[in-house]
Chain A
């Protein structure tokens, strides 16, 4: 029994330590909102643990007592019951006090969260799709409006306002190390302010069940120093890089003459589809298919050759390509930095 207990304890500890390294964890906050929430979670959890222990002690007490005298069950000790009544009333009173305290705490935490983004200078419109995120950087100058997908670059240390909506079903935007979640609802616009304290990559994923590939609808927030962020924005505004090799050129032609062009946009080419992610700078992203695969030549090929194997049910169709054609398209896309 002792051995079992030590194994169980060891396992529990190991499991716990393992999770603290997470980059998608509410307990590993990297921004002011998540920090406030992590504190709130620990406070609530601690208080609840204390209450639970007290209730368990109260439950264990009778189990330690002497068995009740085999008296008639209706013969009660009125004095004892009166004392119990006082204890019960006190416990109810304490419960009420704790609950009022927690309600106020929750209310003020909510106010703190609401204040985080009050001076946000950057507005990003995030639109949910089955199963990817369309990310549009708003700007007063129309030529500076930028559309990308799945990865959201933000300047570190600055609050950013996200406008959340959806064109199909309900999704929920959740990057736990930065903030709580908020739904993307067709016909509604929600506002979520986020802020990352330091540069880094923070993973998130859709938190509202949205169909077959709900599990593979990841997103990344990439916080960078302001200068690097501005440079990134300027790079992304450029049209797609012209194919460098003959193979890549052949790939571009194939892309433009095959069904790919119906859904995807590549800036600077006739490809202007808007129902699927913008691929103008696809190779500059870290992952493919909303966090399903890491970006690499092999994964690009795998995703194009067998999208239904990689992400069953996704709206990316299988396009019939020969091996050479596949290689050419991959060579082209790989150059779209």
Chain B
């Protein structure tokens, strides 16, 4: 460790750049930040890093904060749409044999609810939070591959629009978010509905993979000098592990959806048992992605919890190393559990028992995390503000979800509750309790950083209690009605089974829960317009994102901080040491070494460009067209090639200096 030699105002590596290519390309070196006074430094950096004005400029933006804000708002809109789906379903189910909607619409609704919540809300929003926060938390000026990041947003939006326009045209998928064959296959899934599912998956996975790659490289190569592996904030660790899980899990579902569309479009019979294919193969491929998917959504939320608790418990997280190792262990183990979604398919009993054991095993690292957080809180009464309230709500609900998860891990027990409302209750406790509650806490926690204003604490408390009561009223009774024999994905049920009253109660809870989000939306808008000014660090938290102004300038940090502690702002109360030597007339970043975060080279970060948008349109158009004909790949190749050539066209800049 060498933070000692990174003294304040120390210059970055010696001026070797002149010798690297100097003989051939005359070096056009510009002004550096070394010794520059603050006012002119701000002027220079603001001009260098700004998003260009005008509509074209806005569409060309590669600023991670701009992209992340768009992602967050879009994902929140999809959350509202998915929530509305749920409310309509709950009204239909509020009594036996209700005729509000028929099976055709109901099946589209629950499919769109699942698809929207998983692919258009949960994964994008946790990644978007990472896009916003990771570069700030590691002390760099932009995410790695900023144009790829911009591209990912446009692909995501086109995928979401594609799905919801299909829904508006009543051609939304109606085969469930898991779209099992043969129901989604060419024979039993007529029309374009299952194709919409398959291609919509492809859109969102492309986008998600792009963000994962950018996040991994940002964390591994762009950390502020001194932020060695042991000083990376837990939230950043969580995003790093999540991104690796994305990289290994998403290809499985892309293969699944591609095989499906090949079966449907060109008749490959990969999943057709009548022609030697196999329907169960689909499930294996899907759940090999599908289970890690849960952790893709959950792990970033644990990172949020690990960020919020220390700020309000007024101490660093207890068991930092244990928490990091748990994250990594969960990341690995999440790939060994997929069969527990398939216990009812009649797999050999001994084989299935191994997956019981592995599913139980993952409870241990998750338990370690829970215990470490509790131990962090044990130093005395924490400061109870809305973000922490939601974290307490997270404990209350997620632990229930985790424990019912232990129940589901048991093969015989699962055979009674699989595909019943018990499972619906379980995964909503895991996903809402485990991920949405931390996300809401995170929204209150980081809102001041993003907007420069505080959200209302009073409304926040109302929001919390409304959400807690609504959520538990809606989802807890589902455990019971599931054990009473009510299966999932039914658009109605007979009166004589006696599920009417409890379903009415559930529906009332669901409406209450939905209203809590209306209140939240109001609080967001109210906070953005009227909230009290927040200042740089309203919670007196310890990580780097609080070192810059709120909202952060386009260049994040005027001078790149030097990190000496896992909570640098607590360690350096006066002023952070900074590293200098970066050019201010070009978008320069410090690239540091993977383990020790020694400043290594200066690297240019990409400038704004409209090409990512054009490339996304070309790619999106090709995907869309491909649900109609395989020739789409041929016709689409040309525009994709053109836009990619435009994107990567050499600019004639001098090669990046060492």
B is a partner of A = yes
Q: Which residues of A contact B (CB under 8 A)?
A: 11, 14-16, 18-19, 21-27, 34, 36-37, 40-41, 44-45, 48, 51-52, 55-56, 58-59, 61-74, 76-77, 80-81, 84-85, 87-88, 91-92, 95-96, 99-100, 102-103, 105-107, 109-110, 113-114, 130, 164, 168-170, 172, 174, 176-177, 179-183, 185-188, 190-191, 203, 205-216, 218, 291, 312-313
Pick the contact of B103 from A109, A174, A212, A218 — CB < 8 Å? A212
Shortest distance from the beta carbon of B151 to any chain A beta carbon, whole Å: 35
- Complex CA–CA separation, A168 to B542 (angstroms): 59
CB-nearest residue of chain A relative to B479?
A: A45
Instruction: Name the CB-closest residue of B to A186.
Output: B273
**Contact of B381 with A41 in the complex, beta carbons under 8 Å:** no
Nearest to B278 among chain A residues (CB) is A187
**Shortest Cβ distance from A48 into B: residue:** B403
User: Which residues on B sit within 8 Å (CB–CB) of A99?
Assistant: 360-361, 363-364, 406
Chain B residues positioned under 8 Å from A212 (CB to CB): 103-104, 107, 174
How far is it, in angstroms, between the C-alpha of A11 and the C-alpha of B322 when the chains are bound? 44
A96 touches B498 (CB 8 A): no
Cβ B413 vs Cβ A40 within 8 A: yes
Q: What are 7 A-B contacts defined by CB distance under 8 Å?
A: A26-B483, A36-B412, A41-B407, A80-B379, A88-B371, A180-B344, A188-B273
Closest to B322 in A: A88
Please state if B379 and A68 are interface contacts (CB–CB under 8 Å).
yes
Q: Is residue B296 contacting chain A, with contact meaning CB distance below 8 A?
A: no
A43 to chain B, nearest CB (A): 9
Number of CB contacts from chain A to chain B under 8 A: 289
Chain B 48-81 against A: per-residue CB contact (8 Å), 1 yes, 0 no? 0000000000000000000000000000000000
With a CB–CB cut-off of 8 A, which chain B residues contact A164?
A: 346
Query: Contact: B345 with A174, CB < 8 Å?
Result: no
Residues of the A chain whose Cβ atoms lie less than 8 Å from the Cβ of B534: none
* A-contacting residues, B295-320, CB 8 Å: 310, 313-316, 318-319
Contact B310 A109 (CB under 8 A): no
Instruction: Name the interface size band of chain B.
Output: 35 or more
Decide: A187 and B273 in contact? CB cutoff 8 A. yes
The reply to whether B380 and A67 contact each other, CB–CB distance below 8 Å, is yes
Instruction: Give Cα A85–Cα B376 distance, bound, in whole angstroms.
Output: 11
The residue on B at minimum CB distance from A209 is B489
Chain A positions within 8 Å of B332 at CB level: none
Chain A residues near B118: list those with CB within 8 A: none
In the complex, the answer to whether A186 meets B182 with C-beta atoms within 8 Å is: yes
Partner of A181, one of B322, B357, B371, B415: B415
Q: Binary interface profile of B, 466-491, with partner A (CB < 8 Å = 1, else 0)?
A: 00000000000100110111011111
Further contacts, 9 of them, CB under 8 A, given A95-B364, A107-B353: A26-B417, A26-B484, A41-B417, A68-B379, A74-B571, A76-B315, A176-B485, A181-B416, A183-B345
Contact indicator A210/B396 (Cβ below 8 Å): no
Closest chain-B Cβ to A166's Cβ sits at a distance in Å of 9
Interface hub of B104, B313, B377, B379 (most chain A Cβ within 10 A)? B379
Residues from chain A with a CB closer than 8 A to the CB of B382 are 62-63, 68
Query: How far apart are the CA atoms of A208 and B371 in the complex, in Å?
Result: 37
A229 to B315, CA, bound (A): 72
* Residues in chain A near residue B452, CB distance under 8 A: none
Complex: how many Å from CA A113 to CA B485? 20
Contact A40 B412 (CB under 8 A): yes
Within 8 Å CB of A80, what residues of B? 379
